[in-house]
Amino acid sequence: MGKLYPELDERLRKFIARQSVFFVATAPCLTEEGDGGHVNVSPKGYRDTFAVLGPHRVAYLDLTGSGAETIAHLRQNGQITIMFCSFDHETKILRLYGTGTVVLPGTDQWAELAPHFSGSSGLGTEDRGNLRAIIDVSVHRIADACGYAVPVMELAEERDVLVQWAARKGPEALVEYRADKNAASIDGLPALDVEQAGRPG
């Protein structure tokens, strides 16, 4: 059934590359005892926005959205789980447990990580208007599970709604949107600083 892996080997990298969607989970700690607020799970599309950087390191492009829970939680405690789930005839769920860092445009880390993303979906780092951050994850536990109850589904196509929405808004409106919608989590934790949200890549 389930198995632990010492690293992201070639077989796991190929499995990750085949998936059209992945899920990101984070949670805040709001008290010294570790009591939390709202646990967040986000689906992420566009396969070329995820990169395996090494045996224990991955990263993905964080795109502008209506919330910034992941960024807020990572700024507070760094804990993150990424899940890949096969929807074809292979039965497999892969979870990567790790510590995440929020990398902002205009930083040395951004310049290091940006070349790892191809941008074939129109969301690559050459089109910086819709990018809020890159999430850099140090992976400390790699585990799979059977996924026997996950349905078999076929991908019809990737949605271009987010790309079109960002294009209609334009760079300046996106900066204003992030300043308005992405400054704090739903529990009131700081997420994107207003100045950071508008920093060019």
Average pLDDT over all residues of the chain: 89
pLDDT, tens digit, 9 for 90 and up, residues 9-27? 999 999 999 999 999 999 9
- C-alpha 84/C-alpha 16 separation (Å) is 7
pLDDT, tens digit, 9 for 90 and up, residues 146-200? 999 999 999 999 888 888 898 899 989 999 999 999 999 999 999 998 565 555 4
Q: Is the pTM of this model over 0.75?
A: yes
- The verdict on residue 91 lying in a domain is yes
- The verdict on residue 126 lying in a domain is yes
- The verdict on residue 201 lying in a domain is no
The total of structural domains in the chain comes to: 1
- Give the per-residue pLDDT at 144: 97
pLDDT, tens digit, 9 for 90 and up, residues 121-149? 444 444 556 889 999 999 999 999 999 99
For 103, the domain range is 3-196
- Give the per-residue pLDDT at 125: 47
CB 101 within 8 A of CB 133: no
- C-alpha 117/C-alpha 75 separation (Å) is 23
CB 130 within 8 A of CB 136: no
Q: What is the DSSP string of 75-135?
A: HHT-EEEEEEE--SSS--EEEEEEEEEEE-TTSHHHHHHGGG---TTTTSTTSGGGEEEEE
pLDDT-based confidence at residue 8 (cuts at 50, 70, 90): very high
- C-alpha 119/C-alpha 132 separation (Å) is 15
- C-alpha 121/C-alpha 88 separation (Å) is 22
Residue 83's CATH number: 2.30.110.10
Q: What are phi and psi of 194, to 5 degrees?
A: -60, -45
- Give the per-residue pLDDT at 117: 87
